[in-house]
Structure 1
Protein backbone atom coordinates (compact mmCIF):
# COMPACT_ATOMS: atom_id res chain seq x y z
CA UNK A 1 0.00 0.00 0.00
CA UNK A 2 1.42 3.45 -0.93
CA UNK A 3 2.88 5.29 2.05
CA UNK A 4 1.30 8.64 2.92
CA UNK A 5 3.50 11.17 4.75
CA UNK A 6 2.13 12.41 8.10
CA UNK A 7 1.38 15.91 6.80
CA UNK A 8 -1.32 14.52 4.50
CA UNK A 9 -2.70 11.78 6.76
CA UNK A 10 -5.55 14.03 8.02
CA UNK A 11 -6.63 14.65 4.41
CA UNK A 12 -6.96 10.91 3.89
CA UNK A 13 -9.16 10.59 6.98
CA UNK A 14 -11.30 13.58 5.97
CA UNK A 15 -11.74 12.11 2.51
CA UNK A 16 -12.98 8.79 3.88
CA UNK A 17 -15.30 10.47 6.37
CA UNK A 18 -16.90 12.65 3.68
CA UNK A 19 -17.40 9.69 1.35
CA UNK A 20 -19.15 7.77 4.13
CA UNK A 21 -21.33 10.71 5.19
CA UNK A 22 -22.40 11.31 1.59
CA UNK A 23 -23.53 7.70 1.34
CA UNK A 24 -21.25 6.36 -1.39
CA UNK A 25 -21.07 2.60 -1.79
CA UNK A 26 -18.20 0.59 -0.31
CA UNK A 27 -16.91 -0.17 -3.81
CA UNK A 28 -16.90 3.50 -4.84
CA UNK A 29 -15.26 4.53 -1.57
CA UNK A 30 -12.54 1.93 -2.06
CA UNK A 31 -11.75 3.10 -5.60
CA UNK A 32 -11.74 6.75 -4.59
CA UNK A 33 -9.57 6.18 -1.52
CA UNK A 34 -7.07 4.06 -3.45
CA UNK A 35 -6.65 6.73 -6.15
CA UNK A 36 -6.33 9.51 -3.58
CA UNK A 37 -3.81 7.51 -1.56
CA UNK A 38 -1.62 7.01 -4.63
CA UNK A 39 -1.70 10.76 -5.27
CA UNK A 40 -0.77 11.58 -1.67
CA UNK A 41 2.10 9.10 -1.75
CA UNK A 42 3.37 10.67 -4.98
CA UNK A 43 3.46 14.24 -3.64
CA UNK A 44 5.32 13.09 -0.50
CA UNK A 45 5.66 15.95 2.03
CA UNK A 46 3.88 18.59 -0.06
CA UNK A 47 0.59 19.60 1.57
CA UNK A 48 -2.28 18.43 -0.63
CA UNK A 49 -4.48 21.38 0.37
CA UNK A 50 -1.92 23.80 -1.10
CA UNK A 51 -2.09 22.44 -4.66
CA UNK A 52 -3.41 24.80 -7.33
CA UNK A 53 -5.26 23.83 -10.51
CA UNK A 54 -2.10 24.56 -12.51
CA UNK A 55 -0.08 22.22 -10.32
CA UNK A 56 -2.67 19.47 -10.62
CA UNK A 57 -2.54 19.79 -14.41
CA UNK A 58 1.21 19.17 -14.26
CA UNK A 59 0.59 16.08 -12.15
CA UNK A 60 -2.06 14.74 -14.54
CA UNK A 61 0.29 15.32 -17.48
CA UNK A 62 2.84 13.23 -15.59
CA UNK A 63 0.22 10.48 -15.22
CA UNK A 64 -0.30 10.53 -18.99
CA UNK A 65 3.22 10.90 -20.31
CA UNK A 66 5.40 9.24 -17.68
CA UNK A 67 3.18 6.72 -15.89
CA UNK A 68 1.17 6.02 -19.07
CA UNK A 69 -1.97 5.28 -17.09
CA UNK A 70 -5.07 4.08 -18.91
CA UNK A 71 -7.92 6.48 -19.64
CA UNK A 72 -10.06 4.59 -17.12
CA UNK A 73 -7.47 5.06 -14.35
CA UNK A 74 -7.01 8.73 -15.24
CA UNK A 75 -10.75 9.31 -14.98
CA UNK A 76 -10.86 7.54 -11.60
CA UNK A 77 -7.98 9.63 -10.30
CA UNK A 78 -9.52 12.88 -11.54
CA UNK A 79 -12.81 11.92 -9.87
CA UNK A 80 -11.01 11.28 -6.58
CA UNK A 81 -9.13 14.58 -6.70
CA UNK A 82 -12.23 16.48 -7.77
CA UNK A 83 -14.13 14.99 -4.84
CA UNK A 84 -11.42 15.99 -2.38
CA UNK A 85 -10.99 19.60 -3.52
CA UNK A 86 -14.66 20.32 -4.18
CA UNK A 87 -16.52 18.15 -1.65
CA UNK A 88 -14.02 17.90 1.22
CA UNK A 89 -12.36 21.31 0.97
CA UNK A 90 -15.43 23.03 -0.49
CA UNK A 91 -13.65 24.70 -3.40
CA UNK A 92 -16.56 25.12 -5.78
CA UNK A 93 -15.82 24.31 -9.44
CA UNK A 94 -12.14 23.86 -8.62
CA UNK A 95 -11.78 21.33 -11.44
CA UNK A 96 -13.67 23.33 -14.07
CA UNK A 97 -10.53 23.93 -16.15
CA UNK A 98 -9.04 20.47 -15.78
CA UNK A 99 -9.49 18.57 -19.08
CA UNK A 100 -10.46 14.90 -19.11
CA UNK A 101 -9.13 12.36 -21.60
CA UNK A 102 -11.46 11.34 -24.38
CA UNK A 103 -12.62 7.74 -24.27
CA UNK A 104 -14.96 5.77 -26.48
CA UNK A 105 -18.45 5.37 -25.11
CA UNK A 106 -19.03 1.78 -24.08
CA UNK A 107 -22.67 0.86 -24.16
CA UNK A 108 -23.73 -1.31 -21.22
CA UNK A 109 -24.57 -4.94 -21.99
CA UNK A 110 -28.10 -5.81 -20.98
CA UNK A 111 -30.60 -8.61 -20.56
CA UNK A 112 -34.23 -8.02 -21.48
CA UNK A 113 -37.07 -9.10 -19.18
CA UNK A 114 -37.62 -12.37 -21.05
CA UNK A 115 -33.95 -13.29 -20.71
CA UNK A 116 -34.00 -12.35 -17.03
CA UNK A 117 -36.98 -14.63 -16.43
CA UNK A 118 -35.20 -17.52 -18.14
CA UNK A 119 -32.02 -16.81 -16.21
CA UNK A 120 -33.74 -16.76 -12.81
CA UNK A 121 -35.91 -19.78 -13.59
CA UNK A 122 -32.87 -21.84 -14.55
CA UNK A 123 -31.71 -21.75 -10.93
CA UNK A 124 -32.93 -24.49 -8.58
CA UNK A 125 -30.80 -23.50 -5.58
CA UNK A 126 -32.76 -20.81 -3.71
CA UNK A 127 -29.63 -19.30 -2.18
CA UNK A 128 -28.12 -18.86 -5.63
CA UNK A 129 -31.39 -17.50 -6.95
CA UNK A 130 -31.57 -15.01 -4.08
CA UNK A 131 -28.07 -13.73 -4.89
CA UNK A 132 -28.96 -12.93 -8.50
CA UNK A 133 -32.38 -11.58 -7.45
CA UNK A 134 -30.57 -9.18 -5.09
CA UNK A 135 -28.06 -8.06 -7.71
CA UNK A 136 -30.82 -7.15 -10.16
CA UNK A 137 -33.47 -5.85 -7.77
CA UNK A 138 -31.17 -3.18 -6.30
CA UNK A 139 -28.66 -2.70 -9.12
CA UNK A 140 -25.77 -3.88 -6.96
CA UNK A 141 -22.19 -4.63 -7.90
CA UNK A 142 -21.15 -8.23 -7.29
CA UNK A 143 -18.93 -7.12 -4.39
CA UNK A 144 -21.97 -5.53 -2.74
CA UNK A 145 -23.96 -8.75 -3.07
CA UNK A 146 -21.38 -10.98 -1.37
CA UNK A 147 -19.98 -8.95 1.60
CA UNK A 148 -17.63 -11.28 3.19
CA UNK A 149 -19.78 -14.40 2.97
CA UNK A 150 -18.66 -15.53 -0.50
CA UNK A 151 -15.86 -14.78 -2.97
CA UNK A 152 -17.10 -12.62 -5.85
CA UNK A 153 -15.94 -15.38 -8.19
CA UNK A 154 -18.65 -17.64 -6.72
CA UNK A 155 -21.45 -15.30 -7.78
CA UNK A 156 -19.87 -14.83 -11.20
CA UNK A 157 -19.82 -18.59 -11.65
CA UNK A 158 -23.44 -18.92 -10.49
CA UNK A 159 -24.43 -16.35 -13.12
CA UNK A 160 -22.38 -18.06 -15.82
CA UNK A 161 -23.93 -21.45 -15.08
CA UNK A 162 -27.45 -20.01 -15.05
CA UNK A 163 -26.86 -18.15 -18.32
CA UNK A 164 -25.64 -21.33 -19.99
CA UNK A 165 -28.58 -23.35 -18.66
CA UNK A 166 -31.03 -20.67 -19.83
CA UNK A 167 -29.58 -20.73 -23.32
CA UNK A 168 -28.53 -17.08 -23.26
CA UNK A 169 -25.78 -16.56 -25.83
CA UNK A 170 -25.07 -12.86 -25.17
CA UNK A 171 -21.55 -12.02 -23.98
CA UNK A 172 -22.70 -10.75 -20.60
CA UNK A 173 -21.52 -11.22 -17.03
CA UNK A 174 -23.14 -10.77 -13.65
CA UNK A 175 -22.55 -6.99 -13.87
CA UNK A 176 -25.14 -6.94 -16.67
CA UNK A 177 -27.80 -7.31 -13.94
CA UNK A 178 -26.79 -3.88 -12.63
CA UNK A 179 -26.87 -2.42 -16.14
CA UNK A 180 -30.25 -4.03 -16.80
CA UNK A 181 -31.64 -2.62 -13.54
CA UNK A 182 -30.61 0.93 -14.50
CA UNK A 183 -31.89 0.67 -18.06
CA UNK A 184 -35.22 -0.83 -17.01
CA UNK A 185 -35.72 2.00 -14.50
CA UNK A 186 -35.20 4.46 -17.35
CA UNK A 187 -37.70 2.56 -19.48
CA UNK A 188 -40.21 2.98 -16.66
CA UNK A 189 -39.69 6.76 -16.59
CA UNK A 190 -37.39 7.20 -13.59
CA UNK A 191 -35.30 10.39 -13.73
CA UNK A 192 -31.66 9.67 -14.55
CA UNK A 193 -30.52 11.89 -11.67
CA UNK A 194 -32.20 9.54 -9.19
CA UNK A 195 -30.65 6.55 -10.91
CA UNK A 196 -27.23 8.21 -10.53
CA UNK A 197 -27.77 8.38 -6.76
CA UNK A 198 -29.10 4.82 -6.53
CA UNK A 199 -26.09 3.45 -8.40
CA UNK A 200 -23.64 5.57 -6.39
CA UNK A 201 -22.04 7.20 -9.43
CA UNK A 202 -19.72 10.18 -8.86
CA UNK A 203 -20.49 11.74 -12.21
CA UNK A 204 -23.78 12.01 -14.11
CA UNK A 205 -21.79 11.30 -17.30
CA UNK A 206 -21.35 7.70 -16.12
CA UNK A 207 -25.09 7.30 -15.70
CA UNK A 208 -25.85 8.98 -19.02
CA UNK A 209 -24.84 5.80 -20.77
CA UNK A 210 -28.33 4.64 -19.87
CA UNK A 211 -29.89 7.87 -21.15
CA UNK A 212 -33.40 9.47 -20.95
CA UNK A 213 -34.74 11.98 -18.49
CA UNK A 214 -38.25 12.12 -17.06
CA UNK A 215 -40.12 13.51 -14.06
CA UNK A 216 -40.57 11.10 -11.16
CA UNK A 217 -40.43 11.41 -7.40
CA UNK A 218 -37.66 9.47 -5.69
CA UNK A 219 -40.14 8.05 -3.20
CA UNK A 220 -42.16 6.51 -6.03
CA UNK A 221 -39.27 4.52 -7.46
CA UNK A 222 -40.15 0.84 -7.66
CA UNK A 223 -37.53 -1.78 -8.44
CA UNK A 224 -38.12 -3.33 -11.89
CA UNK A 225 -37.63 -6.66 -10.12
CA UNK A 226 -40.99 -6.15 -8.38
CA UNK A 227 -42.74 -5.86 -11.74
CA UNK A 228 -40.94 -8.93 -13.00
CA UNK A 229 -42.19 -10.94 -10.01
CA UNK A 230 -45.74 -9.59 -10.30
CA UNK A 231 -45.84 -10.55 -13.94
CA UNK A 232 -45.59 -14.19 -12.91
CA UNK A 233 -42.65 -14.91 -15.20
CA UNK A 234 -40.26 -15.82 -12.40
CA UNK A 235 -40.69 -18.75 -10.04
CA UNK A 236 -39.39 -18.80 -6.46
Structure 2
Protein backbone atom coordinates (compact mmCIF):
# COMPACT_ATOMS: atom_id res chain seq x y z
CA UNK A 1 0.00 0.00 0.00
CA UNK A 2 2.89 2.38 0.80
CA UNK A 3 4.51 1.70 -2.59
CA UNK A 4 1.19 2.25 -4.34
CA UNK A 5 0.71 5.61 -2.59
CA UNK A 6 4.26 6.67 -3.47
CA UNK A 7 3.78 5.83 -7.15
CA UNK A 8 0.33 7.45 -7.38
CA UNK A 9 0.20 9.76 -10.39
CA UNK A 10 3.64 8.62 -11.55
CA UNK A 11 3.19 4.97 -12.49
CA UNK A 12 0.60 2.23 -12.31
CA UNK A 13 1.38 -0.74 -10.06
CA UNK A 14 0.39 -4.06 -11.64
CA UNK A 15 -0.26 -6.42 -8.73
CA UNK A 16 -1.66 -9.37 -10.68
CA UNK A 17 1.65 -11.31 -11.00
CA UNK A 18 2.32 -10.87 -7.29
CA UNK A 19 -1.21 -12.03 -6.47
CA UNK A 20 -0.79 -15.11 -8.66
CA UNK A 21 2.56 -15.94 -7.05
CA UNK A 22 1.12 -15.66 -3.53
CA UNK A 23 -1.78 -17.96 -4.49
CA UNK A 24 0.69 -20.56 -5.81
CA UNK A 25 2.86 -20.19 -2.72
CA UNK A 26 -0.12 -20.62 -0.39
CA UNK A 27 -1.03 -23.91 -2.09
CA UNK A 28 2.55 -25.19 -1.81
CA UNK A 29 2.93 -24.28 1.88
CA UNK A 30 1.39 -27.53 3.29
CA UNK A 31 4.08 -29.53 1.44
CA UNK A 32 7.01 -28.07 3.36
CA UNK A 33 5.78 -28.55 6.94
CA UNK A 34 5.95 -24.90 7.93
CA UNK A 35 9.54 -24.41 6.73
CA UNK A 36 10.79 -21.61 4.50
CA UNK A 37 10.36 -22.10 0.77
CA UNK A 38 13.65 -23.08 -0.83
CA UNK A 39 15.05 -21.09 -3.75
CA UNK A 40 14.39 -24.10 -5.97
CA UNK A 41 10.70 -24.19 -5.05
CA UNK A 42 10.35 -20.43 -5.54
CA UNK A 43 11.95 -20.82 -8.98
CA UNK A 44 9.54 -23.63 -9.87
CA UNK A 45 6.55 -21.52 -8.82
CA UNK A 46 7.76 -18.60 -10.92
CA UNK A 47 8.75 -20.57 -14.02
CA UNK A 48 6.09 -23.32 -13.95
CA UNK A 49 2.97 -21.88 -12.28
CA UNK A 50 -0.10 -24.09 -12.14
CA UNK A 51 -3.02 -23.12 -14.30
CA UNK A 52 -5.94 -21.62 -12.34
CA UNK A 53 -7.94 -24.83 -12.85
CA UNK A 54 -5.14 -27.10 -11.61
CA UNK A 55 -4.36 -24.77 -8.71
CA UNK A 56 -8.01 -25.09 -7.70
CA UNK A 57 -7.72 -28.88 -8.00
CA UNK A 58 -4.73 -28.87 -5.60
CA UNK A 59 -6.56 -26.75 -3.02
CA UNK A 60 -9.62 -29.02 -3.31
CA UNK A 61 -7.42 -32.05 -2.64
CA UNK A 62 -5.93 -30.40 0.43
CA UNK A 63 -9.33 -29.31 1.72
CA UNK A 64 -10.78 -32.84 1.36
CA UNK A 65 -7.79 -34.36 3.22
CA UNK A 66 -8.37 -31.91 6.08
CA UNK A 67 -12.13 -32.49 6.09
CA UNK A 68 -11.55 -36.24 6.42
CA UNK A 69 -9.21 -35.61 9.34
CA UNK A 70 -6.15 -37.25 7.78
CA UNK A 71 -2.74 -36.63 9.35
CA UNK A 72 -0.44 -33.78 8.37
CA UNK A 73 1.99 -36.37 6.97
CA UNK A 74 -0.71 -37.56 4.58
CA UNK A 75 -1.53 -33.96 3.62
CA UNK A 76 2.14 -33.30 2.90
CA UNK A 77 2.77 -36.53 0.97
CA UNK A 78 -0.39 -36.45 -1.15
CA UNK A 79 0.07 -32.74 -1.95
CA UNK A 80 3.65 -33.30 -3.10
CA UNK A 81 2.72 -36.23 -5.36
CA UNK A 82 -0.29 -34.46 -6.85
CA UNK A 83 1.65 -31.23 -7.34
CA UNK A 84 4.31 -33.03 -9.40
CA UNK A 85 1.65 -34.27 -11.83
CA UNK A 86 0.01 -30.85 -12.03
CA UNK A 87 3.29 -29.11 -12.88
CA UNK A 88 3.86 -31.51 -15.76
CA UNK A 89 0.39 -30.85 -17.17
CA UNK A 90 0.92 -27.16 -17.86
CA UNK A 91 -2.37 -25.82 -19.25
CA UNK A 92 -3.97 -29.30 -19.49
CA UNK A 93 -6.71 -29.66 -16.88
CA UNK A 94 -6.18 -32.64 -14.58
CA UNK A 95 -9.86 -33.56 -14.74
CA UNK A 96 -9.47 -34.27 -18.46
CA UNK A 97 -7.06 -37.14 -17.77
CA UNK A 98 -8.17 -40.72 -18.31
CA UNK A 99 -7.06 -43.90 -16.61
CA UNK A 100 -4.68 -44.58 -19.54
CA UNK A 101 -3.05 -41.18 -18.98
CA UNK A 102 -2.53 -41.94 -15.29
CA UNK A 103 -1.05 -45.38 -16.03
CA UNK A 104 1.39 -43.79 -18.51
CA UNK A 105 2.34 -41.24 -15.86
CA UNK A 106 3.00 -43.98 -13.28
CA UNK A 107 5.21 -45.78 -15.80
CA UNK A 108 7.10 -42.50 -16.35
CA UNK A 109 7.68 -42.20 -12.60
CA UNK A 110 9.28 -45.64 -12.59
CA UNK A 111 11.31 -45.38 -15.81
CA UNK A 112 12.35 -41.72 -15.80
CA UNK A 113 12.17 -40.59 -12.19
CA UNK A 114 13.41 -43.86 -10.69
CA UNK A 115 10.58 -44.14 -8.18
CA UNK A 116 10.81 -47.13 -5.82
CA UNK A 117 7.88 -49.51 -5.45
CA UNK A 118 6.93 -47.85 -2.15
CA UNK A 119 7.09 -44.36 -3.68
CA UNK A 120 4.87 -45.44 -6.58
CA UNK A 121 2.34 -46.78 -4.08
CA UNK A 122 2.27 -43.34 -2.45
CA UNK A 123 1.70 -41.67 -5.85
CA UNK A 124 -1.14 -44.11 -6.62
CA UNK A 125 -2.76 -43.40 -3.25
CA UNK A 126 -2.59 -39.64 -3.83
CA UNK A 127 -4.05 -39.83 -7.36
CA UNK A 128 -6.75 -42.31 -6.35
CA UNK A 129 -7.70 -39.99 -3.49
CA UNK A 130 -8.14 -37.05 -5.85
CA UNK A 131 -10.08 -38.84 -8.58
CA UNK A 132 -12.18 -40.97 -6.24
CA UNK A 133 -12.72 -38.78 -3.19
CA UNK A 134 -12.58 -35.29 -4.69
CA UNK A 135 -14.00 -35.91 -8.17
CA UNK A 136 -16.07 -38.99 -7.39
CA UNK A 137 -14.70 -41.03 -10.31
CA UNK A 138 -14.20 -44.24 -8.30
CA UNK A 139 -15.23 -46.81 -10.90
CA UNK A 140 -12.63 -45.63 -13.35
CA UNK A 141 -9.64 -45.44 -11.02
CA UNK A 142 -10.27 -48.01 -8.28
CA UNK A 143 -7.94 -50.66 -9.78
CA UNK A 144 -4.88 -48.64 -10.80
CA UNK A 145 -1.93 -51.07 -11.12
CA UNK A 146 0.61 -51.12 -8.31
CA UNK A 147 4.12 -52.60 -8.46
CA UNK A 148 4.76 -55.45 -6.05
CA UNK A 149 6.68 -54.28 -3.01
CA UNK A 150 9.87 -56.21 -2.17
CA UNK A 151 9.67 -58.26 1.00
CA UNK A 152 12.21 -56.77 3.39
CA UNK A 153 13.37 -58.14 6.72
CA UNK A 154 12.93 -55.70 9.58
CA UNK A 155 16.00 -54.13 11.14
CA UNK A 156 16.17 -55.44 14.70
CA UNK A 157 18.65 -54.53 17.42
CA UNK A 158 19.75 -57.32 19.75
CA UNK A 159 18.95 -56.80 23.43
CA UNK A 160 22.68 -56.34 24.10
CA UNK A 161 22.79 -53.61 21.44
CA UNK A 162 19.86 -51.78 23.03
CA UNK A 163 21.69 -51.83 26.38
CA UNK A 164 24.90 -50.58 24.77
CA UNK A 165 22.98 -47.86 22.92
CA UNK A 166 21.45 -46.54 26.13
CA UNK A 167 24.62 -46.87 28.25
CA UNK A 168 26.64 -44.89 25.69
CA UNK A 169 24.10 -42.03 25.70
CA UNK A 170 25.42 -39.68 28.36
CA UNK A 171 22.90 -36.87 27.87
CA UNK A 172 20.03 -37.56 30.31
CA UNK A 173 17.34 -36.10 28.05
CA UNK A 174 18.55 -38.09 25.05
CA UNK A 175 18.77 -41.30 27.07
CA UNK A 176 15.25 -40.78 28.45
CA UNK A 177 13.96 -40.18 24.92
CA UNK A 178 15.50 -43.38 23.53
CA UNK A 179 14.38 -45.41 26.54
CA UNK A 180 10.81 -44.16 26.10
CA UNK A 181 10.87 -44.99 22.40
CA UNK A 182 12.06 -48.56 22.95
CA UNK A 183 10.16 -49.38 26.15
CA UNK A 184 6.78 -48.39 24.70
CA UNK A 185 7.31 -49.30 21.03
CA UNK A 186 6.49 -45.80 19.81
CA UNK A 187 6.49 -44.34 16.33
CA UNK A 188 8.64 -41.22 16.16
CA UNK A 189 5.66 -38.85 15.93
CA UNK A 190 4.00 -40.57 18.89
CA UNK A 191 7.25 -40.18 20.82
CA UNK A 192 7.60 -36.42 20.31
CA UNK A 193 3.88 -35.82 20.90
CA UNK A 194 3.87 -37.52 24.31
CA UNK A 195 2.87 -35.16 27.09
CA UNK A 196 3.94 -35.16 30.72
CA UNK A 197 0.42 -36.15 31.78
CA UNK A 198 0.52 -39.20 29.47
CA UNK A 199 2.86 -40.93 31.93
CA UNK A 200 0.53 -42.56 34.46
CA UNK A 201 2.80 -43.69 37.30
CA UNK A 202 -0.16 -44.72 39.49
CA UNK A 203 -1.42 -47.31 37.02
CA UNK A 204 2.05 -47.83 35.47
CA UNK A 205 0.76 -47.09 31.98
CA UNK A 206 1.78 -44.85 29.09
CA UNK A 207 -1.11 -43.23 27.20
CA UNK A 208 -0.52 -42.82 23.45
CA UNK A 209 -3.11 -40.38 22.16
CA UNK A 210 -4.02 -39.88 18.51
CA UNK A 211 -1.47 -42.33 17.16
CA UNK A 212 -1.53 -43.48 13.54
CA UNK A 213 -5.10 -43.49 12.32
CA UNK A 214 -6.01 -41.19 15.26
CA UNK A 215 -6.22 -44.21 17.56
CA UNK A 216 -5.56 -44.06 21.29
CA UNK A 217 -3.91 -46.92 23.16
CA UNK A 218 -2.09 -47.73 26.40
CA UNK A 219 1.10 -49.70 26.98
CA UNK A 220 2.78 -50.82 30.21
CA UNK A 221 5.16 -48.30 31.79
CA UNK A 222 8.60 -49.73 32.52
CA UNK A 223 9.78 -49.26 36.12
CA UNK A 224 13.32 -48.67 34.88
CA UNK A 225 12.03 -46.01 32.48
CA UNK A 226 10.01 -44.36 35.26
CA UNK A 227 13.14 -43.92 37.38
CA UNK A 228 14.95 -42.29 34.47
CA UNK A 229 11.97 -40.05 33.62
CA UNK A 230 11.78 -38.83 37.22
CA UNK A 231 15.45 -37.84 37.17
CA UNK A 232 14.97 -36.23 33.76
CA UNK A 233 11.89 -34.29 34.95
CA UNK A 234 13.77 -32.86 37.94
CA UNK A 235 16.66 -31.77 35.69
CA UNK A 236 14.69 -30.33 32.74
CA UNK A 237 11.20 -29.50 34.05
CA UNK A 238 9.24 -30.04 30.82
CA UNK A 239 6.00 -28.02 30.88
CA UNK A 240 3.58 -29.68 28.45
CA UNK A 241 5.34 -32.15 26.19
CA UNK A 242 7.48 -34.82 27.77
CA UNK A 243 10.34 -33.91 25.43
CA UNK A 244 10.45 -30.25 24.46
CA UNK A 245 12.66 -28.26 22.12
CA UNK A 246 14.94 -25.42 23.22
CA UNK A 247 12.19 -22.90 22.42
CA UNK A 248 9.40 -24.93 23.96
CA UNK A 249 6.83 -27.01 22.15
CA UNK A 250 7.25 -30.60 21.07
CA UNK A 251 10.71 -31.93 20.21
CA UNK A 252 11.07 -32.24 16.43
CA UNK A 253 11.06 -35.66 14.78
CA UNK A 254 14.28 -34.75 12.99
CA UNK A 255 16.02 -34.01 16.30
CA UNK A 256 14.80 -37.34 17.73
CA UNK A 257 16.25 -39.21 14.74
CA UNK A 258 19.57 -37.38 15.15
CA UNK A 259 19.71 -38.47 18.80
CA UNK A 260 19.37 -42.12 17.77
CA UNK A 261 21.95 -41.90 14.97
CA UNK A 262 24.48 -40.29 17.29
CA UNK A 263 23.82 -42.92 19.97
CA UNK A 264 24.38 -45.72 17.44
CA UNK A 265 27.68 -44.19 16.36
CA UNK A 266 28.80 -43.85 19.98
CA UNK A 267 27.87 -47.48 20.65
CA UNK A 268 29.56 -48.75 17.49
CA UNK A 269 26.30 -50.05 16.03
CA UNK A 270 26.28 -50.00 12.24
CA UNK A 271 22.85 -51.46 11.51
CA UNK A 272 20.70 -49.11 9.47
CA UNK A 273 17.38 -47.92 10.84
CA UNK A 274 15.58 -45.00 12.41
CA UNK A 275 13.57 -44.60 15.61
CA UNK A 276 11.19 -47.10 14.04
CA UNK A 277 13.86 -49.79 14.42
CA UNK A 278 13.48 -49.42 18.20
CA UNK A 279 9.75 -50.08 17.76
CA UNK A 280 10.55 -53.20 15.71
CA UNK A 281 13.04 -54.31 18.36
CA UNK A 282 10.47 -53.79 21.14
CA UNK A 283 7.92 -55.99 19.38
CA UNK A 284 10.45 -58.70 18.51
CA UNK A 285 11.87 -58.85 22.04
CA UNK A 286 8.37 -59.13 23.49
CA UNK A 287 7.61 -62.01 21.15
CA UNK A 288 10.88 -63.75 21.99
CA UNK A 289 10.07 -63.30 25.68
CA UNK A 290 6.84 -65.25 25.28
CA UNK A 291 4.28 -62.41 25.11
CA UNK A 292 1.11 -63.40 23.28
CA UNK A 293 1.13 -61.83 19.82
CA UNK A 294 -2.39 -60.47 20.34
CA UNK A 295 -1.13 -58.35 23.23
CA UNK A 296 1.73 -57.13 21.05
CA UNK A 297 -0.85 -56.19 18.40
CA UNK A 298 -2.66 -54.01 20.96
CA UNK A 299 0.56 -52.43 22.26
CA UNK A 300 1.63 -51.50 18.72
CA UNK A 301 -1.81 -50.22 17.70
CA UNK A 302 -2.17 -52.53 14.70
CA UNK A 303 -5.67 -52.97 13.25
CA UNK A 304 -4.77 -56.23 11.54
CA UNK A 305 -3.01 -59.14 13.24
CA UNK A 306 -1.26 -59.89 9.92
CA UNK A 307 0.76 -56.71 10.37
CA UNK A 308 2.01 -57.95 13.74
CA UNK A 309 2.67 -61.47 12.44
CA UNK A 310 5.65 -60.24 10.41
CA UNK A 311 7.68 -60.14 13.63
CA UNK A 312 7.64 -63.92 13.61
CA UNK A 313 9.94 -63.73 10.57
CA UNK A 314 12.71 -62.16 12.65
CA UNK A 315 12.06 -63.85 15.99
CA UNK A 316 14.82 -66.20 17.19
CA UNK A 317 12.45 -68.38 19.25
CA UNK A 318 11.47 -70.90 16.59
CA UNK A 319 14.73 -70.64 14.66
CA UNK A 320 16.86 -71.52 17.69
CA UNK A 321 14.62 -74.44 18.66
CA UNK A 322 14.86 -75.95 15.17
CA UNK A 323 18.61 -75.67 14.67
CA UNK A 324 20.45 -76.86 11.56
CA UNK A 325 20.48 -80.37 9.94
CA UNK A 326 24.28 -80.02 9.88
CA UNK A 327 24.26 -80.67 13.65
CA UNK A 328 22.42 -83.97 13.17
CA UNK A 329 24.88 -85.55 10.75
CA UNK A 330 26.67 -88.68 12.08
CA UNK A 331 30.15 -87.21 12.28
The bucket for the TM-score relative to the shorter chain is 0.5 to 0.7
SS in 2 for 1:86: helix
Match of 1:8 among 54, 63, 67: 54
| 8 Å CA contact 2:65, 2:75 repeated in 1 | yes
Shift of 1:56: 1.3
| 8 Å CA contact 1:111, 1:180 repeated in 2 | yes
Q: Which residue of 1 aligns with 2:106?
A: 60
- TM-score, normalised with respect to structure 2: 0.48
- TM-score, normalised with respect to structure 1: 0.63
Pair 32,140 (structure 1): closer, same or farther in 2 beyond 3 Å: same
Match of 1:48 among 76, 90, 94: 94
Could you tell me how far apart the structure 2 residues matched to 1:117 and 1:180 are?
Answer: 12
Q: Which residue of 2 aligns with 1:25?
A: 71
Could you tell me how far apart the structure 2 residues matched to 1:20 and 1:134 are?
Answer: 30
| 8 Å CA contact 1:139, 1:179 repeated in 2 | no
Could you tell me how far apart the structure 1 residues matched to 2:57 and 2:128 are?
Answer: 14
Pair 69,143 (structure 1): closer, same or farther in 2 beyond 3 Å: farther
Kindly tell me the number of residue pairs found equivalent between the two proteins: 203
Q: Which residue of 2 aligns with 1:139?
A: 187
Q: Which residue of 1 aligns with 2:273?
A: 172
| 8 Å CA contact 2:128, 2:142 repeated in 1 | no
More RCO (CA 8 Å, sep 6+): 1
Measured against aligned partners, the alpha-carbon deviations of 1:47-97 in whole angstroms (never above 9, x if no partner) come to 223322222123223333444544343222112112222233344354333
Shift of 1:102: 2.8
SS in 2 for 1:195: coil
Could you tell me how far apart the structure 1 residues matched to 2:56 and 2:109 are?
Answer: 24
Structure 1 portions without partners, runs of 5+: 197-203, 213-236
The CA RMSD over aligned residues, in Å, is 4.0
| 8 Å CA contact 1:82, 1:94 repeated in 2 | no
Shift of 1:139: 1.0
Tell which structure's C-alpha radius of gyration is larger.
2
User: Is residue 302 of structure 2 the alignment partner of residue 195 of structure 1?
Assistant: yes
SS in 2 for 1:76: helix
Measured against aligned partners, the alpha-carbon deviations of 1:186-225 in whole angstroms (never above 9, x if no partner) come to 93342699526xxxxxxx9xx966546xxxxxxxxxxxxx
Match of 1:36 among 69, 72, 82: 82
| 8 Å CA contact 1:107, 1:209 repeated in 2 | no
